[in-house]
Structure 1
Amino acid sequence: MHGIALLALVASAAMTHAEEAPNAHQVVGQTTEAVMTAVADARRAGGQASDAYYQQIQELLDPVVDFRGFARGVMGPYATSERYRSLDEAGREQLASQLDRFTERMREGMVRTYGKGLLAFGGSRIEVTQPSNPDPEARRVTVQQLIHKDGAQPYVVLYQMGRDKDGSWKLRNMIIENVNLGEIYRSQFQSSARSYDGDLDKVIDNWSAVEIDT
């Protein structure tokens, strides 16, 4: 299910300049179209995952994927507010630097892994199911997306979206065919932290996100 995992993350990003901010379902739907257009262009150009292609995918991801929040959640107890407050000034600076490094490492790895896989999965039909009575005041929303491929039962991807203070929607986590990506990565991070005796710098330096298969 490598292709589904990559679609799940990339199709969640958004680029919009509408005067009225889109709701969470519109964010997913609009950006799915933009991302798949980028994929189609790359396939027509020979299907190579070039640096320019990765940059294009990253520009689509950056506005609404909360990479820092996602990375912080993956770090779990190592990056909580309580732990941050318990540290001295030097410790806080170190933790902030570690979170910055881990955020960038996850961001780069996801863009490249999922962007490359999208080229092989670009012929799918993607459907965002619309709620019958959306709550305009909701701060968190789960958006369901169905990915149809070769006449089989569609894959189900759930996007857990959160609203920022400015009203824009950001991707916080996703569940791919009942596999919670955030929980999988968090378990991996904690296992690695135990292996390195709590040395977060070593965890980050050696981080390689697991691939989700079904």
Structure 2
Amino acid sequence: MMKMVKSVQQFTMALVCLMVVGVSYAAPVLQPPEMEVRKITSELLDTFNNNKKQYQKDPEGFFKEVDRLLSPVVAFDQIARYVMGKYAHRSPEQVEKFESVFKGSLIRFYGKALLSLDDTSLVIESVDKTSPELLKKYQEGQTSRIPVRMKVRTSTNTVEIFYSMVHVDGRWKLRNVTIEGINIAKQFQSQFADAMKKHKKVSYVIDNWAAIMSASADGSSKK
């Protein structure tokens, strides 16, 4: 009887070991995020360069292309929560609604930033590689995002862009972007906070976000 129990225990331990080994072999290898950054940016710049005259006259057409290309690779939910700040903890329904509303403003901001860079060809000059040490820290949960620095060359200068990347839903996604020192997520967060100070109600700010952003852009252009 004791021999049978011991054999069962040994068999169970061997089975557990095989399962662990199987899981470790099945674990996907996490590729560095700069590959995704280069791919999506190349597609965006190719789209712009091939249609630049049309997009200068019709920016809305470019915004639609930016939306099509970026929607699968942007963590809109995470950015929207960050922009709402402390108000994101009040209602899941409001967060979900703002995510939908906010997506449009982010797409337009990013699209306008690209349109304003130059009216000639835009070319990727360089994309920094992620160090194995940083990627390991991310996989171990020691850091929540990985920055990827890119330089885009115009006809007159070089523009520096920092992408903040997270790995969700089985792929790398954009969590934030900083263009020439302008942190887009922080800028939107500041505008949301200012709108809350003025209007007091989260529902009002969400329902009128497009108008608030338009007024903010008009105010900035007049300065």
TM-score, normalisation: structure 2: 0.67
- Distance, in Å, in 1 between the alignment partners of 2:75 and 2:109 is 18
State which structure, 1 or 2, has the greater radius of gyration over its C-alpha atoms.
2
Change (3 A) 1:55 1:178: closer
Out of 196, 199, 204, the position equivalent to 2:199 is: 196
- Residue 128 of structure 1 deviates from its aligned partner by 3.5
Unpaired runs of 5+ residues, structure 1, are 1-18, 85-94
State the shift of 1:53 in Å.
4.4
Does structure 2 conserve the Cα–Cα contact (< 8 Å) formed by 1:49 and 1:116?
A: no
Give the aligned residue type for 2:93. Answer: S
Once the two structures are superposed, the pairs formed by residues 21-170 of structure 1 within 5 Å of their partners are 22-43=31-52, 47-49=56-58, 53-79=62-88, 83-84=89-90, 95-115=91-111, 118-119=114-115, 121=118, 123-131=121-129, 133-135=131-133, 136-137=135-136, 138-139=138-139, 140-152=145-157, 154-164=158-168, 166-170=169-173
Offset of residue 173 of structure 1: 1.4
Q: What CA distance in whole angstroms lies between the structure 2 residues aligned with 1:102 and 1:125?
A: 34
| RMSD over aligned Cα atoms | 3.0
| Greater RCO, 1 or 2 (C-alpha within 8 Å, sep 6+) | 1
Whole-angstrom distance in 1 between the partners of 2:73 and 2:206: 23
* Shift of residue 163, structure 1, vs aligned partner: 1.4
Q: Structure 2: which 5+ runs fail to align?
A: 1-27, 140-144
Q: Which residue of 1 aligns with 2:207?
A: 205
Q: Is the 8 A contact 1:49 1:115 kept in 2?
A: no
**Aligned residues with identical type, % of pairs:** 27
Q: Do the aligned residues in 1 keep the contact of 2:75 with 2:174 (CA within 8 Å)?
A: yes
Q: Which residue of 2 is the match for residue 172 of structure 1?
A: 175
